[in-house]
Amino acid sequence: MDENSKLDLKSLASNCGLFSDLPADEIVQNITNLDNSYQSGDLVNIYNYFLSVSTNPDVLMNIIRLADRFRDPSTLSALLDILLMKNTGTPQQKEKFINTRVMCAKAIANYKDTSAVTPLLYCLNNKDENYKLRLACADALGKIGDKYAVAPLIEVVKDENEKSVYLKESAASALGMLGDLRAIDPLVSILESNKGILNKFTFLKERVIEALGKMRISNNDRVFNALKESLMDESPQIRINAIEALMDSEHDDAYDVIKRCLTEDNDAEVQKNAMIALYNLRGREILDEVISLPIYSKELKSEAESMIEEYEDEVVEIYREDRNNQ
């Protein structure tokens, strides 16, 4: 007798109310209470069956949450089926089904299973799909980390006819997570073509800069120049992101370029981030300079003093650990 027969899954589903008109929260509570009677292996089989027979989006979302505690490989196929299902019912139900599929994409990402890449790409590339689902699929592809997703994600970033800037942002972030060098040129092109533009492209540029920073590209002059130009952007957050990316770039001129932000940028938060980046690159010398020279603000001096105190505390702690280990 197989496991499904032992459990009598259909009766369990009926007892929980999956085939009834009970309110969703009551059905969910019945399913949650199964924890009191079944072990994890049985619960996985129960959730897998319930995912295949439930038609209530609110119930499905909660089953997905419950199943995600175990992340058993056998659940992945049920999640993929829901991801690919067509929305049915009233407009309100359709919206809820979209949210259910979004949750599926997020749960699927947790498996980091490359067999999920093709279904995720199918949803990502379907421009008739809801943008929230496409965003979730792009994010999932980045988390799974399969290089097969790189080219399609690049196409999303490059597509001038793509109406959703949010999707481009998610695709750029996913490319940063994947770290494939093929993404460098299309990402840099976004910075070059949208230079100085605020409005809807601001967040896209932020994600692009973050992605380039994650790739830790060493001494690539085109990337370096694009990041350097971003230090002139009107958005302080873009300038901060560019400082962080330059810090990670390992470019020979990164220190000097960031140093100019410390002395010339008028935004206090940008200056603070520039000082932190310089400290990470060369150590305490920049903190001593900020404290000693009159060109720096009181706020920046105070921040530098706090960092030195923290630095000295760390040195003392390391000394104590070394003494204890002797």
CA distance 239 to 209: 10
The pTM is what? 0.82
Q: Rounded distance, CA 326 to CA 321, Å?
A: 9
Q: What is the pLDDT of residue 5?
A: 46
315 in Cβ contact with 286 (< 8 Å)? no
pLDDT digits (tens, 9 = 90+) for 175-212: 999 999 999 999 999 988 865 544 567 899 999 999 99
pLDDT band at 3 (very low <50, low <70, confident <90, very high): very low
131-165 pLDDT per residue, tens: 999 999 999 999 999 999 999 999 999 998 888 88
C-beta of residue 108 within 8 angstroms of C-beta of residue 140: yes
- Give the torsion through C-alpha atoms of 250, 253, 257, 258, to 10 deg: 30
Say if residue 260's pLDDT is above 50: yes
Q: Would you say 150 and 171 are in contact if contact means Cβ atoms under 8 Å apart?
A: no
Extract the tokens encoding 282.
């060369």
Asked if residue 226 has pLDDT above 60, the reply is yes
Q: pLDDT of 273-286, one tens digit each?
A: 999 999 999 999 99
* pLDDT score for 38: 96
Q: Which amino acid is located at 292 in the chain?
A: S
94 residue type, one letter: K
**Structural contact between residues 141 and 175, judged by C-beta atoms closer than 8 angstroms:** no
Q: How far is CA 315 from CA 100, 320, 322, 325, in A?
A: 50, 9, 11, 15
**Looking at this protein, which amino acid is placed at residue 203?**
F
